[in-house]
Structure 1
C-alpha cells in the first residue's frame, strides 16, 4: 500500500525536525566538550601560575627548598588559601589535574607522589629568584583528565542530551501529525470532490474555510463545478428542445403525407405549399443549429477587415424595408455618417439581418423599429428598439438562451427557432463586443450592441 500525501508530508516534516535536532545535539555537545576542556585548561594554567608565584615568594624568604621538603602539607594549605581568597584573580574552584613541584635539577620536591611521566606535555611554569632558575611547577594536560576523570560527567551529559532529543522528537512527531492532518484537510476535500465530479456528480461542492492558495483553489473548484452543472443542465435542455423543435414539423409532414396516401386529402398546390412550408421551417432550424454549432466551436470563417458598420446597417435596413411596410411596421434609423470596425462584413450583416428579422416577427402591426447609433469612448453603440409587445425582466435575462422564446406574441407561431439571438451573441463576442437586452421606450425590446472601433476609425464629416 503506497503512503498517502498525509504520510509523506508527515515524514518530510518529521525527518527535517529529527535532522535538525540531531545536528543541534551534535553541535551543542561539540561546543560543550571544547568549552569544558578550555575551561579546565585555563583554570589549571592559572592555578599553576599562582602556585608558582607563591612558592617563589616562599623561596625568597627561606633561601632554599627545605621548608617544602620538611612540610609536605604546606602545598595543600597554600591551595586551600586559593579557595578562600576572594580576589578576582582567583580561578574557579577545584584542582582538576595532577601536579609536581621540581627543583632546578628537575627533581621532585612536592606534589603528586609518583614520578613525572617522561612524555608529559602539560603546562609548566618556571620559578626564578634574581634571574636564577630555582625550579618549576608542572601539571598533567587538561585533555587527559577530561578523557579519564570526567568520563562520568561526560556520559551523564550525553544521556541527558539524548533524552532531550528523544522527548523533543516525540513532541515534534505529535505536532507534525496534527499539523499535517489540518493542513491537508482542504486537499482531501478537493480530492474527494474531484472524484465525485469525475463520476458525474456536478452538484458537489467543497467547503471554503481559508483565504490562502488552497482557499482560492477551493473557490475555483466550486466555480468549475457550478459551470459544469449549468452546462449539463443546458445540454439536457438543449437536446430536449431540439427534439421538440424537430418533432412538430415532422409530425405535420407525416400527417399531411398520410392523409394524402389515405385519400383523405387530395394532392394539390395548396397541400404541397403546406408541406413546403414545414420543410422550410425544418431547413431553417437545421441551418440555425449548424451556424450556432460553428460559432460555439469558433469555426465560423471570420475574414476581418476594416468595415464601415453604418453602411452594413443601412444595407440591411434597405433590404427589409418592404417587408416591414407589408406588415404595417415603420422602420427608421438615426446613425452616424460612418464608423469603421475591424470585423467580418458577412457575419456583421448576418447579425443585423437577424435583429431586423427578430423585430419583424415579434412586433405588433402599426408599430415599428428604430435603429439608433452613436460613437463614444472609442466604441460604436447600436440600439435596435421596437414597439409592443414587451417582455418581463426575467424574460430579458434569458433572451439570449438557445431555444428560449417568450410567452405571448413572441412565440413559435411567428416562425422563430429561438436560436437567432444566440447566434447574434456569438457573432458580437467574436468581434470583441458586447450585446445586451433591455426595455424599449416604445414598449418593446431594446437590443444594444457595443463594438470597438478600429484604431484609425472615427466619425467622418
Structure 2
C-alpha cells in the first residue's frame, strides 16, 4: 500500500475515533456535570435564603420569601409549621401567592426531574419551622436531546474536514520521501553529483542527510579502491616486466656457459683448454650468483621495509660501516671526503644502509683514477658525489633506475655489474617515502642527493 493512502486512512481513522469519543463523552458527561453545577447553585441560594430568614418573625419571613420569588424563580420555597401547616405561600397572601401554590404542584406532577432541599429554622418567637426548596433539572434533558440531534451533522462535518486535511497532509509529507526515493534510484548509476534534497529538521531530513553522507563515503571508498587497483595492476605489470627482463638476463649467460661446457666435453677446438674455460664458467656462475642475490633482495624489500622500522642516528650508522670504503679509497688512490653531521631518521636500518652502500659502490666503481668521492650528511640531506669517468646525460639519468639498464659505455658485465643496484636503491627509498635527486654537476661529476625529513631527537 502506498504511503499516501496509508497515511490518509490512518489519519482519517484517528480523527473519526477522536471525534466519536469526544461526542460520546459530551453526551454522557455533560448532563452529569450540568446536574452537579445546578444542584450546587441551588444549594447555595437555599442556604443563603435560610440564613436570611432565621430569627425573623413570620411576617418578615413571608415578605423575604415573596421578594425572592419576584426576583428569581429557580427555587420554589414552602414554609411549614411543626404540624405541617403551610405557612407560605398562603391562600390569603394574594394572587401572586396563589400562583406559587399552583406552580409547586405543577412541578411535582411534571415529567421533569426535580429535587427538594429541606432545613429546619427557628422563628423570632422560638417556634421551629420547616423550609422546603424545590428546583427543576428540566434543561438537562433538553440539552441532551439537542446534542443527540446534532451529533450526526457534527460527526459528518468533522470527518469531512478531517479527511481533507488528512489527504493534504499525506500528500505533503510524502513529497520529500518521493524526492529521496528518486535521488536514491539515480545513485545506482554512481553519478558524483547526485544528492538527496534536505528540507526541514525532522527525521526525514536526517534520513536524507545520512543517505548523502553514506553515498559520499561510498564514492570516496570506490575512488580509493580504484586507485589501489591501478597501483596493484601497475605493480603486477612491473613484476611481469621485471621477470621478463630477469629471464632474459639469465638466459644469455646460461646459454653461453652451456656452449662452453659442451665444447669442453667434446673437445672442440679451443675448448680443449678445460682449465681456462672452467675458470670462465666459474666467473659466469659468480656473476649469476650475484644477480640471484640481488633478485632475492628485491623480493624481500616489499615484505620487510615496513617492518622493524625505528628512529636511529644515521651518522652513527655510517661511521660504523665506512671502514672498508676508506681502505678501498687508499688502495685505489681515491680522495674520499666524509663530512657527517648528526641526523636522526626513521626507517629500516638494514635496507637504508644497503641503499647507501649501493650508491657508494657505484661511486667507487665509476670514479676516475685519483678522483674525489664525497659523502656529506648535513641538515636534511645526504649527498654522495664523485668525479665520474663519464657524465650521464639527461636521457640516461631518466633510464638509469630501470632494472638491468646499463649505459652504452658499460655494456660489459664486468663494468656494468648486475644492473640492479640503482633499481634496488629506488625501491628502498620509495618504500621509505624519501625523495631523491640524481644529477650531473659541472660536466665532470655525478651527485646523488637523498632528502631526509626532519626528526626530533
Interval of TM-score (by shorter of Structure 1 and Structure 2):
0.5 to 0.7
CA contact (8 A) 2:338 2:375 kept: yes
Give the conservation status (yes or no) of the 8 Å contact 2:372–2:387. Answer: yes
- Within 5 Å, give how 1:38-437 maps onto structure 2: 41=30, 57=71, 59=73, 103=104, 106-107=107-108, 115-116=111-112, 133=133, 135-138=135-138, 139-140=140-141, 146=147, 149-162=150-163, 164-166=165-167, 168-169=169-170, 172-173=173-174, 175-183=176-184, 185-186=186-187, 188-189=188-189, 207=192, 212-258=213-259, 260-261=261-262, 263=268, 266=271, 268=273, 271-298=277-304, 302=308, 309-321=314-326, 323=328, 330-336=335-341, 346-361=350-365, 368-375=372-379, 381-386=381-386, 389=391, 392=394, 403=403, 405=405, 414-415=416-417, 416-417=419-420, 418-425=422-429, 429=432, 434-437=433-436
Root mean square deviation, CA, Å: 5.4
Whole-angstrom CA distance in 2 between matches of 1:125 and 1:309: 113
Q: Which residue of 2 aligns with 1:75?
A: none
How far apart, CA to CA, are the structure 2 residues paired with 1:318 and 1:448?
22
Contact 1:405 1:412 in 2 (8 A): no
For residue 107 of structure 1, give the secondary structure of its aligned residue in structure 2.
helix
Q: Deviations over 1:194-219 (max 9, x none)?
A: xxxxxxxxxxxx63656845224312
| CA distance in structure 2 between the partners assigned to 1:449 and 1:334 by the alignment | 16
Name the counterpart of 2:91.
none
Tell me whether 1:447 sits opposite 2:449 in the alignment: yes
Q: How many angstroms does 1:161 deviate by?
A: 2.7
Indicate if the aligned counterparts of 1:399 and 1:421 stay in contact, CA closer than 8 A. no
| Distance across 2 between alignment mates of 1:108 and 1:147 | 26
Q: Return the alpha-carbon distance in structure 1 between the equivalents of residues 9 and 19 of structure 2.
A: 15
Q: Kindly name which structure, 1 or 2, has the bigger radius of gyration based on alpha carbons.
A: 2
Structure 1's 347 and 167: CA in aligned 2 closer, same or farther, altered over 3 A? Answer: same
Q: Does the 8 A contact of 2:309 with 2:348 survive in 1?
A: yes
Query: How far apart, CA to CA, are the structure 2 residues paired with 1:56 and 1:271?
Result: 154
Q: Deviation of residue 371 (structure 1)? A: 1.7
| In structure 2, C-alpha distance between the alignment counterparts of 1:21 and 1:309, rounded to whole Å | 79
Do 2:8 and 2:167's aligned partners in 1 also have CA atoms closer than 8 Å? no
Counting matched residue pairs gives 366
**Contact 1:292/1:422 (<8 A) preserved:** no
* Residues 371, 382 of structure 1: 8 Å contact kept: yes
Partner of 1:236, secondary structure, is: helix
SS of residue in 2 equivalent to 1:258: helix
Displacement of 1:315: 4.4
**Structure number with higher helix proportion:** 2
For 2:201, the equivalent position in structure 1 comes to none
CA contact (8 A) 1:328 1:366 kept: yes
Matches of 1:425 and 1:154 in 2, distance apart? 85
> Cα–Cα, structure 1 residues 260 and 107, in superposed 2: closer, same or farther, change >3 Å?
same
User: Structure 2 length normalisation: TM-score?
Assistant: 0.59
Distance in 1 between the 2:249 and 2:235 partners? Answer: 21
Give TM-score scaled by structure 1 length.
0.58
CA distance in structure 2 between the partners assigned to 1:249 and 1:234 by the alignment? 22
Q: CA deviation at 1:285?
A: 3.2
Deviations 1:245-302 (A, max 9, x none): 2313322321342255253651655544544444334333332332233231238984
Mark the runs of 5 or more structure 2 residues left unpaired by the alignment. 46-67, 77-94, 119-130, 196-211
- Any conservation in 1 of the 2:397–2:439 contact (CA below 8 Å)? no
Distance (whole Å) between structure 2 residues aligned to residue 291 and residue 300 of structure 1: 15
- Over residues 359-401 of structure 1, what are the superposed CA-to-partner deviations in whole Å (9 max), with x where a residue is unaligned? 34566777644222235xxxx74333445635649966x977x
**Cα distance in 2 between the residues matched to 1:399 and 1:212:** 47
1:437 deviates by 1.1
3-state SS of paired residue (2:304): coil
Secondary structure (helix, strand or coil) at the match of 2:271 reads coil
CA gap of 1:313–1:57, structure 2 versus 1, over 3 A, is: same
Cα offset, 1:238, TM superposition? 1.7
The equivalent residue for 2:83 is: none
SS at match of 2:338: strand
Alpha-carbon contact 1:289-1:419 (below 8 Å) kept: no
Looking at structure 1, the residues matched to 108 and 318 of structure 2 have their Cα atoms a distance apart, in angstroms, of: 127
